[in-house]
Structure formats: structure tokens, C-alpha cells
Structure 1
Amino acid sequence: LPYFPSQRNCYREQRPHTILYNILSWRDSSRLNDNKLNHNATVHSCNCEQRRAACLKNPKASCQIASSVLVKTVCFMRSLPSFSHLPSGDQVALLRDCWVPLFVLGLAQEKIEFEVTDAPDSSMLRQILLGQGQTEKEAEERRPQPTLAQVHKLKSCLHRLWNLDLSPKEYAYLKGAILFNPDVQALRALPFIEGLQWEAQRALQGVVLLLHPEDTGRFSRILLAASAIQTVSHNLVTELFFKPLIGNADLFDLLREMLFVQHDNR
């Protein structure tokens, strides 16, 4: 079976000189339970309401929590010998493919709740008026904002996972099954990755049968929940949780740096 050791803090000694450090400096996992935000907002079913742009109601606290979950996500990947022994190109390809669903699993496992509100420029008239004064460069750099519909979809995925009440082992093997995705294009170690995913799924099924022998449909429901979180938009996660922290920096470049940073960096 693939080896899934417990997560460890990989980044205790980073230099305070980059955006990456700002993310990592908020990694204290003890804040996760202390800074959970109550989810009291109701997402309206009206289509016009669903299309409204959304942002975090408390971005400072929420971004701190999200950055901590993101670091744990990358640490999980780095902690797997079966992953770290893959060619670096395969590691980058798998990271690009799976960091969002793994991040969502991290939010679910830590039971992180967050509240959103209307974005300041969510009014269509305001967008039109402001757009008239934009330069061509500013218009090109303007990225789509998260919508209430997208946030509702993300929260639905989280509640679906919470209703399953997964154990730590179930979360670990589910993460492995998502991480080792043989459908990613141009993988050099494709047969090895196919085998790792199969082993992770088999191990997950074994744990499910052991912990819930009477629930014959649980394994299928877990796989359906995993399929749902893989439809969560990369843009939603980036814009909602990390743009307030990193601005226009490329988040994937930061993730790649986190993945390959040396443990002995001093």
C-alpha cells in the first residue's frame, strides 16, 4: 500500500523576504479552530443573486486559515515517498491538477467555515461605469470575480463531506486517490501512478469496510463526493482565498516553490 504518514510542518525556517513567506508565516495550525468563521449567510436561489460577485466577509482571518490549509496540503504531498520519488515534471503536473480538490478536502477535514458578502463592485451598473475608465492593460488584467453561485457550490461540497463524517484514514487515502491521477496529460511515470491510485482506492475501500461494515453504499458516496470537489473552479479558490494576500502574483508559481523548497533552507 502507498505510505501516507502524518502531516508535518515542512516550513519552520523560511526567510521573511517573499510573498511565499507571508503565506507560510500564517501556517500555525492552532489558529484553525480558534479562527473558524460562522457560516450564517444564506445564498439565494434567484439566478440574478447567484451571479452576484462575492468576497470574504472577513478576508484577513479567512486568508490566514486558508493559507494554513494550503501549506498542510503541500506538506501532505511532500510527505509521501511515492510522490517525491516521481520525476519532477510529473510532480508539477499532479500538483497543477489536484491542488484545488486537495485544498477543499483540507477545508472539510479541518471543518473550516467562512462567510461571504457582496463584492464592492458587484453592481452591474458600477462595473459598466468603472469599465469605461479602464485602460486596455487594466481590462486585460481584470480577472473574473467569484460569484455567489460558485461559493454555494463549494459550500455544498463541504457539507457533503461533513455529512459523511470521514475518519482521518479515510481522508488520507481519499487524498492519495485524488493526488495520483493517471488522467493528467504527459505523465512520464503513468503506469506507476495508475498503480498508486488503484492502491489508494483499494486501501480506502478497506478502511470503509472496516469502519462501516453495515453501510454498503458508503464507498460509492465518498467517490461521488470526491468527483464533486474536482469540479470546484481553480479561479474561485484563488480569487476568494488568496488574491487578497498575493495580489496579482501567480499562485501556482508559489505552490511549485513550496513543493520544491529545501528542508535545510537557512
Structure 2
Amino acid sequence: HDKCHSPQITHHSCSGYRDRPAHTILYNILSGSESRYLNGKLNRDATAHNCHCEQRRTVCLKDPKATGQVASAVLVHTVCFVRGLPSFSQLPSGDQSSLLRHCWVSLFVLGLAQKKIVFEVTEVANASILRKILLGPGLTGNEADLPTLAEVHNLRACLHKLWNLDLGPVEYAYLKGALVFNPAVQGLSALCFIEGLQRKGLGALQEVLHRLHPEDAARFTHVLLAASTIQTVSHGLVAQLFFKPVIGNTNMFHLLTEMLSVQ
């Protein structure tokens, strides 16, 4: 029996895996080929309605307190979902950390879509002054960048794509499960086990989609394409837009790690 497919993860070596190409649909999508295409398309669609200068305007939440509370609830639900996956808890702590770092934004966006969260933004009048006040010293240029209108348009486009599919709770749950276990993440020690989990997750997602929508043969592809657009939403946008007003300069990933370890 091929040890790559064994649930035993005490020994995490897998000869040959790193040298062979991955053929799963989701692997290729999340590796970036589809995401780059869709990201370019979304940007072209957005700039068709707004000039470049307008797209580069910096924005913040119109009601950061109320929206921040809703976003925090979605984040807690996201971490609880990941922590509740039996297969996830079997992984080495380093792999858990790596997978969480890679998938939390995607799962958070899915949570926003599932809860039908609508948020409003307003233009930042003087970005340079506000940056100094809110973000404080010691941050790199990338970390200090405030969200732009273009990034918000992209996030909203992702949400609308998911809303148009009208996914139910079961579909969201299986999609989230498939997104968690991504063998494309660098440095995984239980790589073969995670590859098997993703394959099983995709199979289960395809099965449930067929059961719920037997008349829609293309639904599985449409769901995966919608999931791939989520990869165009940056960690920085989500952290700065939704959580900076709530947690200040607290490191977002450290917070997530602490939440994951709470029993």
C-alpha cells in the first residue's frame, strides 16, 4: 500500500512527492495560475468603471466599531471551524501553523460571504497623517499601507461571485474543509497526509454538490473558480481594514495562533 496515502503521520517523509507534479484542480488553482488570470480580470473590470487615481484612494471602514465586531465574530467562527476538524488536530503543530497562516484569509472571506456581511468604506482624507496616528512607528512600507479602493472593489467582487452561486451551509462547510488542507504550502512535514486530505475533501465537495444540484454539472467547477478568486484578497487588506481598528498593532497571526490553541 502506498505510504503516501496512509493516515499514519508519525514519520513524515515521502520519497518522490516533491519531484512529481501535483495534479489536483485546487492545487493548481491555489498555486496561482488561475488566480493571476482572475486577479487581472477583476482589476480590468474595476478600472473600467473608475480611473486609476480613484482606485488608488485609501479608504477605511465607515463604521469601524460595528463592522469590527461582526468581523471578529466571523474570525472566531473561522478559527473554531479549523480547530474542530479532527484531521487538522492530528497534524504536527508546525503544519497546523503553516496551514492556518495560508488559509485564514480565504476562510474569513468565505465567512463574510456565508453571513452575507455588507460593509461600507469611506475615503481617508489625509492618508499620511492618519497612517502615523493609527499605524504607529516601526512598520515596513507594506505593513503601513492603508487599504485602497481597488482592493475593496476586488474583495466585493469575490463576495458577489460567491453570493451569485447561492451556496448553502453544507456547501460552505465542505468548501472550507477543502481549502484548509493545501499541499502547495511550503515547508509541510506531513505533506503526503495533507495531499490525501485535500483529495478527500475535494471528492466530498464534488459529491455533495452533485447530490444537492444534480441538474448543474458545472457547479463544482464554478465553485472552485469562485474559491480561486479569494486568493486575490491579501492578508494585509483584511488585517488593516477589518481588524486594525480593533486590535491595533497586535500581530494578526500571533492572535490567530493563540485562538487556535485555546481549549
Q: Deviation string for 1:152-211 (max 9, x for gaps)? A: 000000000000001111111110111000011111111111111111111110111111
Q: Given the alignment of the two structures, is residue 93 of structure 1 paired with residue 98 of structure 2, yes or no?
A: yes
Please name the residue that 1:77 is paired with. Answer: 82
Q: State the SS of the aligned residue for 2:122.
A: strand
Matches within 5 A, 1:97-176: 97-122=102-127, 127=128, 138=137, 140=139, 143-176=144-177
Please name the residue that 2:181 is paired with. Answer: 180
C-alpha deviation, 1:120, in angstroms: 3.3
Please name the residue that 2:228 is paired with. Answer: 227
Structure with more contact order per residue of length (Cα contacts < 8 Å, sep ≥ 6): 2
Q: Which amino acid aligns with 2:201?
A: A
CA distance in 1, matches of 2:236, 2:94: 23
Q: State the SS of the aligned residue for 2:60.
A: strand
C-alpha deviation, 1:225, in angstroms: 0.6
Please name the residue that 1:50 is paired with. Answer: 55
CA distance in 1, matches of 2:209, 2:191: 27
Q: Given the alignment of the two structures, is residue 236 of structure 1 paired with residue 241 of structure 2, yes or no?
A: no
Structure 1 residues 187 and 141: CA distance shift in structure 2, 3 A: closer
CA distance in 2, matches of 1:192, 1:139: 40
Structure 1 residues 119 and 139: CA distance shift in structure 2, 3 A: farther
CA distance in 1, matches of 2:137, 2:192: 45
Structure 1 residues 79 and 109: CA distance shift in structure 2, 3 A: same
CA distance in 2, matches of 1:248, 1:113: 25
CA distance in 2, matches of 1:63, 1:214: 39
CA distance in 1, matches of 2:125, 2:234: 21
Please name the residue that 1:13 is paired with. Answer: none
TM-score (structure 1 length as normaliser)? 0.76
Please name the residue that 1:65 is paired with. Answer: 70
Please name the residue that 1:253 is paired with. Answer: 254
C-alpha deviation, 1:140, in angstroms: 4.2
CA distance in 1, matches of 2:124, 2:91: 41
- Which residues of structure 1 form unaligned runs of 5+? 1-41
Q: Percent identity?
A: 63
TM-score (structure 2 length as normaliser)? 0.77
CA distance in 2, matches of 1:238, 1:138: 17
Please name the residue that 2:206 is paired with. Answer: 205
Structure 1 residues 120 and 141: CA distance shift in structure 2, 3 A: farther
Please name the residue that 1:9 is paired with. Answer: none
Q: Which amino acid aligns with 1:83?
A: F
Q: Which amino acid aligns with 2:235?
A: H
Q: State the SS of the aligned residue for 1:237.
A: helix
Aligned CA RMSD, in angstroms, stands at 2.1
Moved over 6 A (4+): none
